[in-house]
Amino acid sequence: MYQINSQASPDPMNEELKCIHCGNSCGKLPFLFEGNPFCCSGCSTVYQILNTNQLKQYYQIEQMPGIRIEDEKRPSDETYAFLDLEKFKSKILTFSEGDISKVSFFIPEIHCASCIWLLENLHSLNPGVIQSFVNFPKKEINITFKDSEISLRQLVELLISIHYIPEISQHSIEKTPSDQLDKKLFLKIGIAAFSFINAMIYHFPQYLPGHEFLETDIKHMFGWLSILLAIPVLTFSASDYFLTAFKSLKKGIISIDLPIALGLITLFTQSIVEILSERGIGYIDSLTGLTFFMLIGRWYQGKTYQALSFERDYKTYFPLAVTKITDLGNETIALEDLKAGDRILVRNQEIIPADSILKSGTASIDYSFVTGESMPVAKQTGDFVFAGGRQIGSAIELTIEKEVQQSYLTQLWNQTENPYTVNNRLNTIVNRVSQYFTIIVVLIAISSGIFWLVNKPEIALFSFTSVLIIACPCALALTVPFTFGSTIRQFGRKGFYLKNTAVIEHLFKVDTVVFDKTGTITNAQSSDIRFVGKELDSVQLQQIKSLVFHSSHPLSKTIYNSIESDELLEVKEFQEITSLGITGLINGSRINIGSRYFVSGEKTEDEKLNTEVWVYLQGSVAGCFQLENEYRPGLKSLIQKLERTHEIHLLTGDNDAEKARLTEYFSVAENLHFNHTPTDKLNYIRKLQKNGRKVLMIGDGLNDAGALNESNVGIVIADNVFNFSPACDAILQSNQFGKLHRFIGFTRQSINIVKAGFLISFLYNLVGLSFAVQGNLTPIVAAILMPISSVSVVVFASFSVHLTAKRKLK
Amino acid sequence: MSVVFILVFVAIIMAGAFLIAFVWAVKSGQYEDTYTPSVRILFDDQEIKESENSQKITKEKGEKEKQEVISV
């Protein structure tokens, strides 16, 4: 289940050479080293490093295990300079004493056995590394190293040199205590299991015929040992049930934990009374068994995807440090020390940390994390630059306008909590049922007590406690964890990852679906391309292809891929002019490709509808390539199916150029909203909720973060689920986009299975109660009925989810 | 019947020992990662730097076998 490999698999039909490092196509001009083909110089460099260090086994454990980093994505040499500063070092290191330091990094790229092998052999690459240990499910590496031989910065650069880029951010250095919680739950389960098994052994002889001949000494011993076993279960293993029951009672809510706590306490007191008065052995086996089953349910429900993070905010994304330009030279300062008015340097591939103004250099900023738009935006000196973009190209100088906390983007996270979603969180199906359940059980207990008080006073108290014991809603409490726990697992196998089980119920209640446009319903990776202008012949196309081959700009790559031509021509005097275009000589004739201004000299002020790339060749402007976003496959049928059951809205920051095209997909044109800022999106969601709507927001970038947070359920679409995505309730792998309606539909099945599970446990309760109200409940009835009801509900829930998923989630 | 007392005593000591072993296993972090060790155990112990040619050949054979194991 951990092998979620989202790397694009190479086309098997393609006979082209594949890079032996990363498996990507090498194209027509592979880089060769020792006769091995590589797609790029980066891959071949890694191969050479591993080769000289005798680590070629990397390529034998798995085929083509390597990671490709495109040249322009490589962090600059100075990016990690801040790791040399004591201030950051002490924050990042998990342990440091004398010469020995320990550190742990999250590396999203870890994906196979070869990765584990190579990363655990880091000491072969640098003797300063003492030991490295990979935690595969968490995609984490723990490294112990000698400070004197390799510095933290060198260690990080070592990892980058073999293309494993660790994620170092504000968020990753704040330690999370979730491990500790997990450990505690395991201990609770272990102790409950220990007590359960031993208590069963002590109880069992007394369920057999002839137990009345057992010596009283032995009975005594068994009784006392049982009590001893029950104490740690009650005080440690089951402590959470008492705590939450008490807490919610204080808030005036009857939660499922209340009848559980009530049942456990009654079980324990009744057992002590019976054992001390030598009337019997009590119900300790049932008590410990119940606790054990319920804890197992809690564990099953709580198991989550360790490598995925649903809580990320801008801190995960922003750097820890920035380079400040002072009169004395460059200085590395912490992000939180950045003040308005500071001048900073942003290098290739670095993130702009705060809203600022461009002072020098030409910026080409990639906002794909923010807006989902994959084309970089060009900025000129004096332009205002929003935080969150990634600079591509040479270093730029910025003057900070607003501090990080006040920046437009970060403010989306500082919103107050939404009252509509908070109330919702408590209103779960199990809480609603348990309210009635608890009241009815207490009523039955009291009335049967009163009945016997009149008719046969000596068993009145016993029948009262019996009802509370047998009605302990263990089966009820197990239905939801196992149904929803199985549902989460089934979804995970299909590429839909939920934050926790509560999301299933919220998803079921949703009646309105709001889509973001760019990056969500459009495919950021590919676009429709067409040429407008003079007809181009094959030689001209060949020339264009040859020229764009030399540029690393995403648009050049799109054009390159769209032209089918085998040979490349020689390009002379190639020049790339940042944010304008490229130029070169082919066969003595000049070709310019780039912006309209660059190619034709005309400045256009009108809003661009589409992305355009103009071409000048053979002495005249030939025309332009127009790029249109391509919608994700399956969008049409998805919308059609969802429109039957849900109201569909679309929010986008773009202008309404695409409106006509979008109305082909969305039938209600009034629900398409354009020119929405991130805050508008957020307010729109609130407005819908104010009208009683339960909203599902589907987005992808940081600009949706506010809306995702506000909505009842926020789903993020991601090409690679391990890469950065804003805080949300669920992550959907982009290739599963067309199946979204099935996942939403499946939640209805899950709820139905829960209801059926409730019915089963009510039937068991009916049987048990018929014993209890008559005052006939014996330990053996409890010992048989309670485990059977729990196990049968667990089996029913897991199997029905599994079978339904097979039919519905193909 | 007094032998039952001894048996119960022995049984509880044994069960207690297992409980302690379990607690130790949890505390030492064995349940934090239940996947990686299963992969790690398939890697050869290797002293690559000293390896001679003859060793290399046998090693590569071993790797091929292991590769099959992993890909299964």
Quick: pLDDT tens for A480-530. 899 999 999 999 989 899 988 888 999 999 999 999 888 888 876 666 777
pLDDT band, very low/low/confident/very high, at A426 (cuts 50, 70, 90): low
Beta carbons within 10 angstroms of residue A713's beta carbon:
29
Element (H or E) spanning A578, and its range?
none
Looking at the predicted structure, is the pLDDT value of residue B58 above 70?
no
Nearest to A60 among B22, B51, B63 (CB): B63
Tell me the backbone φ, ψ of residue A647, rounded to 5 degrees.
-85, 135
Number of inter-chain CB pairs under 8 A, A vs B: 77
Residue A750 near residue A498, CB atoms below 8 Å: no
| Cα–Cα dist A784/A768, whole Å | 10
Nearest to A190 among B22, B36, B63 (CB): B22
Give the pLDDT score at A424.
53
Interface test with A, best of B1, B20, B33 (most A CBs within 10 A): B33
Task: Check CB contact under 8 Å for A136 and B35.
Answer: yes
**pLDDT tens string A387-407:** 888 888 778 899 998 888 777
Residues facing residue A592 across a β-bridge: A583, A616
Looking at the predicted structure, is the pLDDT value of residue A3 above 70?
no
Q: What is the DSSP letter of A235?
A: I
Beta carbons within 10 angstroms of residue A417's beta carbon:
9
A228 touches B at CB < 8 Å:
no
Q: Which residue of B has its CA nearest to A63?
A: B67
Q: How far is the CA of A224 from the CAs of A77, A280, A284, A777, B11, in angstroms?
A: 70, 12, 11, 22, 16
Q: Which residue of A has its CA nearest to B5?
A: A218
Residues 29-48 of A with CB under 8 A from B: none
Q: What is the mean pLDDT of residues A118-142?
A: 90
Helices (H), A63-146: 86-92, 113-120, 122-125
Using an 8 Å CB-CB cutoff, list chain B residues near A225. Answer: 8, 12
Measured between CA atoms, how close is B1 to chain A, in angstroms? 8
| Cα–Cα dist A287/B36, whole Å | 37
pLDDT band, very low/low/confident/very high, at A5 (cuts 50, 70, 90): very low
Looking at the predicted structure, is the pLDDT value of residue A657 above 50?
yes
Measured between CA atoms, how close is B15 to chain A, in angstroms? 7
Which of A124-138, A712-726, A772-786: highest mean pLDDT?
A124-138
Residue A189 near residue A298, CB atoms below 8 Å: no
Task: Check CB contact under 8 Å for A61 and B66.
Answer: yes
Task: Check CB contact under 8 Å for B33 and A117.
Answer: no
Residue A593 near residue A615, CB atoms below 8 Å: yes
pLDDT band, very low/low/confident/very high, at A171 (cuts 50, 70, 90): low
Mean pLDDT, all residues of chain A: 84
Judged by DSSP in three states, A555 sits in helix
Task: Check CB contact under 8 Å for B39 and A124.
Answer: no
- The structure's pTM equals 0.81
**pLDDT tens string A694-709:** 999 998 877 788 888 8
pLDDT band, very low/low/confident/very high, at A604 (cuts 50, 70, 90): low
| Cα–Cα dist A69/A41, whole Å | 10
Query: Do the bridges between strand A730-733 and strand A713-718 make them parallel or antiparallel, or are there none, so unpaired?
Result: parallel
Residue matched to tokens 């109201």? A647
Using a pLDDT cut of 70, give the percent of chain A over it: 91
Burial call A298-332: b when 16+ CB within 10 Å, e when fewer: bbbbeebbbbbbbebbbbbbbbbbbbbbeeeeeeb
Give the pLDDT score at A32.
83
Task: Check CB contact under 8 Å for B71 and A198.
Answer: no
**pLDDT tens string A33-43:** 888 888 888 88
Give the pLDDT score at B1.
63
Task: Check CB contact under 8 Å for A135 and B42.
Answer: no
Q: What is the mean pLDDT of residues A333-352?
A: 85
Using a pLDDT cut of 90, give the percent of chain A over it: 23
Give the pLDDT score at A10.
42
Residues in chain B: 72
Nearest to B48 among A124, A198, A221 (CB): A124
Looking at the predicted structure, is the pLDDT value of residue A9 above 80?
no
Q: What is the mean pLDDT of residues A640-650?
A: 91
Give the pLDDT score at A352.
87
| Cα–Cα dist B11/B14, whole Å | 5
Q: What is the mean pLDDT of residues B61-68?
A: 47
Looking at the predicted structure, is the pLDDT value of residue A355 above 80?
yes
pLDDT band, very low/low/confident/very high, at A269 (cuts 50, 70, 90): very high
A788 touches B at CB < 8 Å:
no
Task: Check CB contact under 8 Å for B33 and A221.
Answer: no
Q: Domains for chain A: give ranges and CATH numbers.
A: 73-173 (3.30.70.100), 179-302+430-483+749-808 (no CATH), 319-352+355-401 (2.70.150.10), 494-522+632-747 (3.40.50.1000)
Measured between CA atoms, how close is B19 to chain A, in angstroms? 7
In the sheet that A695-699 helps form, which strands lie side by side, from edge to edge? A496-498, A730-733, A713-718, A695-699, A512-516, A647-651, A672-673
Give the pLDDT score at A418.
59
Q: Which residue of B has its CA nearest to A179?
A: B32
Q: Which residue of B has its CA nearest to A201?
A: B8
Give the pLDDT score at A178.
60
Query: Which residue did the predictor score with more confidence, A91 or B11?
Result: B11
Give the pLDDT score at A118.
92
Looking at the predicted structure, is the pLDDT value of residue A143 above 80?
yes
Looking at the predicted structure, is the pLDDT value of residue B24 above 90?
yes
> Which residue in A618, A619, A613, A610 sits closest to A537, CA to CA?
A618
Give the pLDDT score at A793.
92
pLDDT band, very low/low/confident/very high, at A638 (cuts 50, 70, 90): very high
Query: Which residue did the predictor score with more confidence, A231 or A417?
Result: A231
